[in-house]
Each structure stands twice: as C-alpha cells, then as structure tokens.
Amino acid sequence: MLTGLVCTLPVTPAYAATTPAGWEAGALGLSSAQRLSQGEGVTVAVLDTGAVADHPALRGRVTTGPDYRKDGLDPQSPKWGVHGTAMASDVLKVAPKAKILSVRVLNDQDKEKINEGHLVQGGAGAIANGIYYAVDHGADVISMSLGSGAVGNYANEDDLAAVGYALSHGVPVLASAGNSGDKLNETSFPSGYAGVIAVAATDRSGARAAFSTVHTYNEVAAPGVDILSAKNTGGYKKVDGTSPAAALASGVVALMLSRNPNLTPAQTRAILTGTADHPQGGWNALVGYGQINATAAVKDAASPPADKTAPVKYQGKEHFATPVGTSKTTHPDMEQSLWLTGLGAAGVGLLLAVGGLLLVLGGRRKGNSGMAAMAPPSGPFGA
C-alpha cells in the first residue's frame, strides 16, 4: 500500500487552489484518476455546518444554499462552518474542478455531544430539507459527513423519504459510517439507510481506523486519519474521522460522474464496491468491500455494468400489517395489562433470587464460624 504523496498530475489553476494532498492521494490512486477526470461539470452537495466560500481552497467553487439549522450564526462567526469548510475542501482535493453546493443542516457545537467529525442532526427536518433542496438545485452527488450516532438511535421517516427522493432522481448519496467503533459502536443514520453508500475510515496501513464504526451497512472505505483539511478561519488542519473519508469518497464519485454523467446510483455503487481493494473474503463489516481505488473506479465509469434495478411486485407471503395501514417504522403501545403482568412476574422472580442468595450466605456464615484460623482451601479458588 502506497502511503506517500505520488500525485504527479501537472498543476492547473483549479488544482493548485485546493487543499494540499497527503498520504490519502497515494492510497486512493488520485494521480492516475485525475488524469482521466477532475470533476468537471459535477456539483457535490455538502450537507454540513456551512462552508466558508472565500477560503483559498474553496474560492470560486462554492455556492451557498439555505441555512436549515437556523441558530442565528452567520458566515462571519468563527463558530460557523468549521466542519463543513473542512469537508468541502476534502471533496475538492479529489475533484478539484467540481462545484460545491453548501447546505447548512448542522451546528458545529452539535458535534461536542458525541465526538469530532460525527455530528448529530440539527433542527427537526433539517437533513431532509437539505436533501430535497440539493436535488432540486442541481446536485449530482450528496455528501453527508454526519450521523445521529446516539444510544437507542432510530430511523427518521422524513430523512429516509428524502434519501429515496434523491436516489429516484439519479443522485447518489454518501454518508460517514460513524466514529464510535472504539466505544459503543452505535448504529448511525443516515449511513444506515438503505440506498446510502456508507463510508468507513482507514488508517495509513489500509486497515480500519480504530474509531471507525463496525457495521453491516459499511460498503466502502477511504482514508480517515491525519487528513489535511481547510480551516474556516484560514489555513489548514489535520482531521480524523469517517467524515473526511466520506468527503474523499464523494470526490471520487464526482470524478466518476464527470467521466460518465449518465451513471445511476446503482451503477455508482456497483463500480465503487467492485473496484475497491477487497479485504480477505471480499467483504467485512470493518471496511465493507474495502478501500476505494479511485483510478479503477473512474476507468470503469466509462463502461458501467447494466443497471438492473427496477420496481418489482412482491412475491412473498402477505405481511400481517398490509393493507391495514400500520406503520412499518413504529410500534403500537403495549397494552397496560400485559406490561403490568410482566413487571409483576419480574418482581416475584427478583424476590425469589434475593431470598435464595440470603439463604446461601447465611449457610456460609454458619459453616465458617470458628474456622478463621484454618488455612484456605486448595484448588482453583484457593490463594
């Protein structure tokens, strides 16, 4: 695995203005990929905390959409666009001639509730509104370096419907897998939604980064450690997380779509997973189908596999909830008599267990009286 900077592409004005590339350039194979495409004609919607459009790495490439977070901050605030500016620059690092549509759906302070690069949702409906806006305003790719990632997390019907809207309009959706792999490893949305390409993070060795969430929804991986990214206040900083991994992956998709604008989301997914550097066995929950190979993906974009996805009639058994209108994502309240009965049974069981324990302890005390001076017993539980 190459870990150094091997990009030898002749410098163009667009590329020179982007964030300096690091080890991820060699890991993804950007040198050869950018000879084939640099993202011309492609718009990547970055749904995040906002992007500072006049940063040298972004200047002339960013269109700013609405602010669905609605927290009163503006682009002049140093608390505005910290994460989003970094992610936009990572997209352009891969696809320097692409355009960025920045839609603010998060507040940078939200991430403090979880960890760096793994953000919670902003206001109710912010992400769904951002997706709809992006699709309706020319986005070719949607990049979401964010996630809900809380214990007891659940799917959001509005967000899921918005993802479906994007896919049905031919717009691939990518999201970061989550940064809780070294903690509670919580399920994260939107990466967990069907149709979303979930991106895990790798380290310099090409293996899963220690923080990257391990889950069956992981499809591909990209570098996510020490990724030099633009700062909203100017300059650059190194960022860790599945956030930069998703942004870099979105840049690769921009390269693919620039080479073949007719790629469908299904074809995009098939090419990314088919050309990735597969782990042993072809797939695992750590890195999905493996780290993205940008050069192979861009080459295959020119002659993609046939898209055989289409609506089909369900041929299985009738589901008990159809057609009575019961929601597929919520559950009815449990009858009070049932849970009270269960609670009572649990209480009785707990009392019996405590009583048995007290009897055992009482017997041990009687048996041990007057024996304190004896040596401890031999065997596996002895001294």
Residue 257 contacts residue 140 (beta carbons within 8 Å): yes
Residue 44 contacts residue 15 (beta carbons within 8 Å): no
Q: Which among 97, 144, 135 has a CA at the least distance from the CA of 257?
A: 97
**Average pLDDT of the segment spanning 309-328:** 61
pTM here is 0.78
State the residue range of the domain holding 80: 13-301
pLDDT of residue 337: 53
**261: CB partners within 8 A, 6+ apart:** 41, 42, 140
Residue 279 contacts residue 260 (beta carbons within 8 Å): no
Catalytic residue among 31, 32, 37, 48: 48
Residue 108 among the catalytic residues: no
Q: Could you write out the DSSP letters of every residue in 87-155?
A: HHHHHHHHSTT-EEEEEE---GGGGGGSBTTBPPP-STTHHHHHHHHHHHTT-SEEEE------TT---
Residue 295 in any domain: the answer is yes
Q: How confident is the model at residue 330 (pLDDT cuts 50, 70, 90)?
A: low
pLDDT higher than threshold 90 for residue 341: no
Per residue in 24-49, pLDDT (tens digit) is: 999 999 999 999 999 999 999 999 99
**Average pLDDT of the segment spanning 276-304:** 98
Catalytic residue among 32, 55, 83, 159: 83
Per residue in 119-178, pLDDT (tens digit) is: 444 445 899 999 999 999 999 999 999 987 555 567 889 999 999 999 999 999 999 999
Q: How confident is the model at residue 18 (pLDDT cuts 50, 70, 90)?
A: confident
Instruction: Quote the tokens at residue 51.
Output: 């992007």
pLDDT higher than threshold 90 for residue 117: no
Q: How confident is the model at residue 333 (pLDDT cuts 50, 70, 90)?
A: low
Look up the CATH number of the domain holding residue 127.
3.40.50.200
- In sign, the C-alpha dihedral spanning 118, 124, 127, 130 is negative
Q: What is the mean pLDDT of the chain?
A: 82
Residue 243 among the catalytic residues: yes
Residue 353 in any domain: the answer is no
Domain count, the chain: 1
**Average pLDDT of the segment spanning 263-274:** 98
At residue 113, the 3 state secondary structure works out as helix
Q: Cα 190–191–197 angle (5° rounding)? A: 125
Residue 370 in any domain: the answer is no
Residue 118 or 312, more confident = 312
Catalytic residue among 143, 145, 243, 258: 243
Residue 255 in any domain: the answer is yes
Q: How confident is the model at residue 228 (pLDDT cuts 50, 70, 90)?
A: very high
pLDDT of residue 310: 78
Residue 335 in any domain: the answer is no
pLDDT of residue 358: 58
Instruction: Quote the tokens at residue 60.
Output: 């002339």
In this structure, which amino acid lies at residue 227?
Answer: I
Q: Could you write out the DSSP letters of every residue in 251-278?
A: HHHHHHHHH-TT--HHHHHHHHHHHSBP
The pair phi, psi for residue 33, each rounded to 5°, is: -65, -40
Residue 240 among the catalytic residues: no
Secondary structure element (H or E) that encloses residue 92, with its range:
helix 82-94
pLDDT of residue 55: 97
**Distance between CA atoms of 237 and 227, rounded to whole angstroms?**
8
pLDDT of residue 19: 82
